Every structure is written in C-alpha cells, then in structure tokens.
Structure 1
C-alpha cells in the first residue's frame, strides 16, 4: 500500500492524476464546470457539422422568431433578425471565440514564459531591459492598447489575437520570473550547479517543470479574461468583422432588439458567462487541489466519503 493510500492527510502529488480525478468526481462545483466546458468545446469542434445551413442561410419567415420546436431542433433557441438559427450561430460563435482566446493565450504564454525564464535565470542588462519593456506595457490599460492598435491596424482575427496576446504577456513574464528567482535559491539547484550542471540542463530539468503548473493555472484564468476582452472589443465593433462573428459580436447585433427579441443578446451573453465562470471555478479548484498546504482537505474529504 502506498503512502498516499494509507494516510488520508497526505495530498496527492502533481504527477499522479488519479487522486485528482477521484476528488473532482466528488466535488459538484468543479465537476459541473468541467461538464459545461466539455459541452462547449464539443460544440465548437463538431457542432458546425450538425447545424447545417440554418446558421448562415436567411429565412425571413422566421425573422426574430422566439424559441420554439415547430421548425425543428435548429430553432429551439429562436432565430435572429435574418431568420438564422440562434443555436447554430452560438455553436459557430463558440468556435471563433475559443479559437481567438486559445491563440492569444498560447502566444502570450509562450512568449511571456520564455522571456520570464530568461529574465529570472540571468540577472543583468538583458533582464533589466525585459522588465522595463514589461513595465511600459503594464503602464497602459490593456483595453486602451487594444483599441489603439486595432484602430491603426484594422479589425480582424489575426490582429485581434496579436493585440490580446501582447497585452497578456506581462502576466506570464512577471510570474515566471518571480518563480524562477525563488527556485534558483533552492538547495537542489545549488547542488546541481556544484556538480557541473549547465544553465540549460538546470532550466530543462528543474525550472521549467516546476514553473509549468503555475503557468497552466494562470492560463485557465487568463483564458476567461481574454474571452471577456475579445467580447468587449467585438461589441465595440473592433473585433471580428462579418461574415465572421463571435459571441461578443452577437451581443452587439442583438442589443437593438433587446425589447422585442431578448434572446438575441441574452443567449450569447449567457454563453460568455457560463464559459468564464466555469474556467474560474475549475482553475481555482485545481490551484487548491495541487497546493500541498490546501490539498489535504480535498483528499481527506474524498477518502472519508468512501468509508
């Protein structure tokens, strides 16, 4: 019997996902968040194959039709001002919204993480330059930077991903730099260096594995923040342009019909809320469950429920 099985107060290790899965199955809030996210991701990946042309083909006979089942499952959430299926547009909007958010998060995580490793592992002029550039970016509100850049470059998916990534880089950079500077002072790093290990080996074997869990937790929260930022920019007309659309642009298109067809703005807004709230709940649970100072509570509760 392993130590984790025999002692309920010992938190599960990061490398073994099975205790985390068992704890997740017994915690309703993060389990519901996972289910919501899985449904949204599945819809974004495979939904466009199922909704058909009701998403893009106008049907003026169903203009601003209320949610119903008379005209098939495609109109269960109603139709927009051109008679297109709101359900289908939510599915297609999910694909665009998630793609933009994923691209921005991956790009900012990669650039910010690499620069943070460089700034934290090598003190000197290069580190100072990197941090001063970061301070300059953080000195301006991210939404203001996005508005200025998109006004100059023009709206579009590529420009939107780029500007959202640039505004999020300082978050990863400063976090990684702080983590690396703290890890460098630990005894095992000093022991590896005294045995002749190079900086590259220490970075691959010690620094990056210890920094990655923190980065992934931040990325989950940042994913929600990017979705909100993208929705705000699309609502202002500086995001994705027709014929492409996102949940934010759907809210903008439906605001003129809020009194007569509330579902045009309320449903994409509800999708934004459900996605960001689920990401926040899940990321907070993962942070606590993988924290040795907090995880014992989850693990002890899960062990107690089986006895």
Structure 2
C-alpha cells in the first residue's frame, strides 16, 4: 500500500489504556499513592480553600494573638493563630493558592521557552544553535539565587517579577535536556526513514520529536515544581518575594521566625507544608518516570503479579 505524501511515516495508534494501567499500578504502590493524596488535598485547598476559611485568614482578632493550636475557638483555629490573631490554618490554605500559582506560572513559562529553544537547538545545528547554547551558558554561569536577588532588587518585588525571574533561571534545565534528547532521537532509524520518504523538518518535529520529548519534560517539570517552591520560599523569606497583603508559605515562615521561642507553630507549620509538597512531588515524579520507562516498568508488573498470588 502506497503512503501519502502528507503522512509519510504514520505513528502507531496511541495506547488509550495506558492511563488506566498507570492508575491501577498507582493504587498498588502505597508511597506514590500517599504522595498523590497529599498533592490532591493541597490543590483542592488552593482552589476552594478561600470559601472554606472565610475571613479568619485575613481579619485580625487580637484576643487570640499567638494562640496555640486548640479546639475551643472552632475548626479554623485548630492550628493556632498568628501574631495578629489570624487563623494559621486559613493562612496556610490561602498561602497555598499563591505559592502554587507562582510555581505553576514559573514552571509553565520556563518549560515553554526552554522546550521550544531546545527543539530548535537540537534539530537545527549551526550558528543559531551555538548562539542559544552560549546564552544558556551565560545564565548558568551565575547562581540562580544571585540572579534572582539582582533582578528583584532592580525591578522590585512582586508576583509578576517573581514568576519572571524564577522562570528565567530554570530555562537552561529544560533547554539542555530537550536539546540532548532531540539530538539523540534524530539519529534513530525511524527519523531517517521518515526523512527519506519526504517528511519535512516540521512534520518530523511535530510527529516524532515532540511526542518523545514530552514525557521527559513533564517529569522534569514535576521535580522542578518543587525546586521553584523552595526558591520562592527562600526569596520570600529574604523579603524579596511576595509583599503584603499577599503572602506565601515562605513569607509566613519569615514572619514567624521572630516567635520561634513563644509560638513555634507560626514558622514550623508553613515549613511542614513546603516539605510535604516538595517531597510528594519528588516521590510522584520518580514513580511516574519509572512506571513509564519500558526498561523499568516490568518491575511494577512483576510486583503486582507477586502480590496477587
């Protein structure tokens, strides 16, 4: 059967049962399942938490200044109150929205720019590729925290500037990874076969390169999401992140550090949320990488067969 010019090397049909297989594998593995549940609770709180906590997170109540975790004043004060009598639980919920929004914006922006530049640098070797890689080397030559401090000092702290500087410092991670993946995939026989049958560079990139690079990018993005949360928390802790009245978990740690001896929960609980989120992301990203890797996924199937017997 002859092959049309518009479809010189059709790919195999996608495996529509793959997500269901991954779901069944996830249910059999307690560690990534717990990590998924933690992340779902945090995301749910970030989306719908503002309606649940009401004004307890923003309205001062001086009668409850630095109140310890308790049940007497309702569920909102289960984790105590801050130095202005605001609910720590409510502020954790609202802080989750800002923290996740900043991290998501930075990751999406850096993944999009870095992935696009990596595709260009890997698929079109030459002067343009060299220029892109030299610019990447310049960014990587400076510590990311130092770049963030300088840019935020010049532009001023704020959510938009924070997202921009965090994205710029993470672009080289995606760019270099995609470039290496693309240069390796370009040497595979099916790409050479598609090129010999008349496929253009754009078609090869869209049908072969992008689908094979995306799983790696998503895995890196999950791990990088945790790194961005830590970086944002550090900048907010230094006073160069989100400014009042907005706040994140990092700024909550910064505001609570002066009360460590008398109200430890003000700094400890936001730190626990940062730890739980980043650890859950790392565990889930590592599990997805192993479960989707054909060279490693057989371990999960063997473990599931062993448990069933």
TM-score of Structure 1 vs Structure 2, range by shorter chain? over 0.9
Task: Tell me the residue number matched to 1:126.
Answer: 128
The answer to which of 168-177 and 17-26 deviates more is 17-26
Residues 112 and 173 in structure 1, CA contact (< 8 A), matched pair in contact too = yes
Q: Report the alpha carbon displacement of residue 14 of structure 1 after superposing the two structures with TM.
A: 9.1
Task: Tell me the residue number matched to 1:8.
Answer: none
Confirm whether residue 23 of structure 1 aligns to residue 21 of structure 2: no
1-structure distance, mates of 2:47, 2:239: 26
Per chain length, whose mean CA-contact separation is higher, i.e. which structure has more relative contact order (CA < 8 Å, sep 6+)? 1
Flag as ranges the 4+ runs of structure 1 deviating above 6 A: none
1-structure distance, mates of 2:102, 2:132: 26
Task: Tell me the residue number matched to 2:90.
Answer: 88
Equivalenced residues, count: 295
CA displacement 1:138-192 (0-9 Å, x = unmatched): 0000000000000000000000000000000000000000000000000000000
2-structure distance, mates of 1:117, 1:277: 30
Q: Report the alpha carbon displacement of residue 66 of structure 1 after superposing the two structures with TM.
A: 0.3
Task: Tell me the residue number matched to 2:187.
Answer: 185
CA displacement 1:109-141 (0-9 Å, x = unmatched): 000000000000001100000000000000000
Q: Report the alpha carbon displacement of residue 304 of structure 1 after superposing the two structures with TM.
A: 2.6
CA displacement 1:172-222 (0-9 Å, x = unmatched): 000000000000000000000001000000001000000000000000000
Which of 15, 35, 38 does residue 36 from structure 1 map onto? Answer: 38
Distance 1:14 1:150, change over 3 A: farther
Confirm whether residue 250 of structure 1 aligns to residue 252 of structure 2: yes
**What is the CA RMSD across the aligned residues, in angstroms?**
1.0
Which of 167, 172, 175 does residue 174 from structure 2 map onto? Answer: 172
Confirm whether residue 63 of structure 1 aligns to residue 28 of structure 2: no
| Secondary structure of the corresponding residue to residue 47 of structure 1 | helix
Which of 263, 266, 280 does residue 264 from structure 1 map onto? Answer: 266
2-structure distance, mates of 1:102, 1:14: 27
Describe how 1:1-307 pairs up with structure 2 within 5 A.
16-307=18-309
2-structure distance, mates of 1:120, 1:82: 54
- Unaligned segments of structure 1, at least 5 residues: 1-12
Residues 150 and 159 in structure 1, CA contact (< 8 A), matched pair in contact too = yes
CA displacement 1:208-254 (0-9 Å, x = unmatched): 00000000000000000000000000000000000000000000000
| Secondary structure of the corresponding residue to residue 17 of structure 1 | helix
